[in-house]
Structure 1
Amino acid sequence: MVKNKFFLAGLVLLALVILYYAFFDSSNGTSAGGLDASVDPAAYRQQVEQERQKKDESFRTGDTSPLPDRSNFKGLAYFAPDPSYRVVARLEPFADKTQKLVVRMSDGSEEVYDKFAHAVFSLNDEACRLLIVKLEDNYSILFRDATSGKETYGGGRYLDIDPANMADNRVLLDFNAAYNPYCAYNPTYSCPLPPAENTLPVAVRAGERYVAHE
């Protein structure tokens, strides 16, 4: 009888271990929803570089390019691709789904966004929390960090979120995809400014940098 009790206890413990690794592995931020921040570094860097080349070509030749003068355009400035800036964050949704955020625009006007959730994560050993907003079917984070106004655009940067990268109250954030608003390159554009709460204490050296008169 005692042996049976130990055997059953062992089975229960084994089941708990299996469930833990199936649903969440805290060592690498992997969750059961398929969100995984880990990548093959070489392949990932190649992918990011290819995406950046496409964006540069769009700025150089595209009909929607914000550049007023493309004749001397040699490409946008970027930080080197860094997989450590890919993180899986915990989502803290709002209980009241009707909450709104009035966002000030660079031309002084205002735009109203839906408050979707806060993303809570760790970056460079610092606890971070950012508000995710929604406009129609688009999810995004408007943020500043310790590089803003120095290595990156002073008006902040944006990070778009693919709904496919949200599952089980978690979201994959890849700051290598952070980009400058169009008003960074052309003042005739009106761009939303990050809310005060979305100022990170850390330097996010990932994504687009900013060099005036590129």
Structure 2
Amino acid sequence: MLRNKFFLTGLFLLTLIVLYFTFFDGGNMTSASGLEATVKPETYRQELTTKRTEKDQFMRTNGESPIQDKSSFNGLSYFAPDPTYRVVARLEPFADKTQKLVVSMSDGSEEVYEKFAHAVFSLNGEAHRLLVVKLANTYSILFRDATSGKETYGGGRYIELDPNQLTDSQAIIDFNTAYNPYCAYNPRYACPLPPGENKLPIAVKAGEKYITHE
């Protein structure tokens, strides 16, 4: 009887340990799928600032940069990093995996993307839905919001999904990584325009702003 008691106690403790490491990661709650939007704010801001500094360096020095007058380029403009704009979205895949989306380009041409899924998520206390498209091995969201044409580029912004934060049923969408297309800075580039369904009614004050850089 005593042996059974010790066995049950040990089993109970083992279950608690498994549950802890299944649902917690360093004190942060995680979803059962392993995707988690919560980050340590200070570390996250530092990492994002570093990436933005690296992008400024690319824009200023690289031959493939769209910036025409690099000598007067003082860096891109951004909203302050805000972890609340990093969300877990539920994916609604298309039953027909062969569905395509013909996307209009800024120069009047067209480009064909694969329709990957709709991403459903909550932002600012409201539910939203955006189409995720795929081109080669890149999963993207092309979108507009209430800042478009005001604080951000009128033609819309892009978000690329990290394959390491993408499963069959969920994805991390980080609006802090939203960026302007090259055609925002150089008319010689042709850029895909967001589909009509990808216009958010809210102001997404995260990611790259828009200031003309000749």
**What is the TM-score when the length of structure 2 is the normalising length?**
0.86
Corresponding residue for 1:136? 136
SS in 1 for 2:72: coil
Q: Contact 2:77–2:208 at 8 Å: present in 1 too? A: yes
Q: Contact 1:111–1:192 at 8 Å: present in 2 too? A: yes
Q: Contact 2:69–2:213 at 8 Å: present in 1 too? A: no
Q: Identity over the aligned pairs, expressed in percent?
A: 69
Give 5+ residue unaligned stretches, structure 1: 1-14
How far apart are 1:164 and its partner, in Å?
1.3
Alignment RMSD (CA, Å): 1.9
Corresponding residue for 1:178? 178
Corresponding residue for 2:119? 119
Q: 1:107 to 1:29 in 2, by over 3 A?
A: farther
- Ranges of 4+ aligned residues in structure 1 off by more than 4 Å: 21-24
Question: Distance between the aligned counterparts of 2:198 and 2:29, measured in 1?
Answer: 22
Corresponding residue for 1:43? 43
Question: Distance between the aligned counterparts of 1:46 and 1:35, measured in 2?
Answer: 21
- The one-character-per-residue Cα deviations of 1:112-141 (angstroms, maximum 9, x if unpaired) are 000000000011112110000000111000
Amino acid of the structure 1 residue aligned with 2:146: A
Question: Distance between the aligned counterparts of 2:213 and 2:46, measured in 1?
Answer: 27
State the number of aligned residues. 194
How far apart are 1:54 and its partner, in Å?
0.1
Alignment of 1:29-178 (within 5 A): 30-178=30-178
Amino acid of the structure 2 residue aligned with 1:205: K
Q: Contact 1:29–1:37 at 8 Å: present in 2 too? A: no
Q: 1:93 to 1:80 in 2, by over 3 A?
A: same
- The one-character-per-residue Cα deviations of 1:150-188 (angstroms, maximum 9, x if unpaired) are 000000000001221112501001110000000000011
Corresponding residue for 1:12? none
Corresponding residue for 2:8? none
Q: Contact 2:36–2:88 at 8 Å: present in 1 too? A: yes
Give 5+ residue unaligned stretches, structure 2: 1-14
SS in 2 for 1:159: strand
SS in 2 for 1:196: coil
How far apart are 1:213 and its partner, in Å?
3.3
**What is the TM-score when the length of structure 1 is the normalising length?**
0.86
Q: Which stretch of structure 1 is more off in the superposition, 61-70 or 148-157?
A: 61-70
Question: Distance between the aligned counterparts of 1:179 and 1:94, measured in 2?
Answer: 26
SS in 2 for 1:53: helix
Corresponding residue for 2:10? none
Amino acid of the structure 1 residue aligned with 2:194: P
Q: 1:101 to 1:58 in 2, by over 3 A?
A: same
